[in-house]
Amino acid sequence: MMQKFLALAALVLLAACGDGEMREISRHPAPDGSRDVVVGSMKAGETEPFLVVMTAKPGDNINKGARLFLADRGDAPKVTWDSPTQVTISCDKARVWSYRSFWTNPNSGATIAVGLKCGTDGWRE
Task: Provide the pLDDT for residue 120.
Answer: 60
Q: What is the 3-state secondary structure (H, E, C) of 105-120?
A: CCCCCCEEEEEEECCC
Within the chain, what is the greatest distance between any pair of CA atoms? 48
- For residues 52 and 101, give the distance between their C-alpha atoms in angstroms, rounded to a whole number: 12
pLDDT tens over the chain, length 125 residues: 544 444 444 444 444 445 468 999 999 999 999 999 999 999 888 889 999 999 999 999 999 999 999 998 888 999 999 999 999 999 987 889 999 999 999 888 999 999 999 876 655 55
Q: Which helix (H) or strand (E) holds 51?
A: strand 50-54
Give the distance, in angstroms, between the CA of residue 82 and the centroid of all CA atoms in the same chain. 17
28, burial (CB in 10 Å: exposed 0-12, middle 13-18, buried 19+): middle
pTM score: 0.79
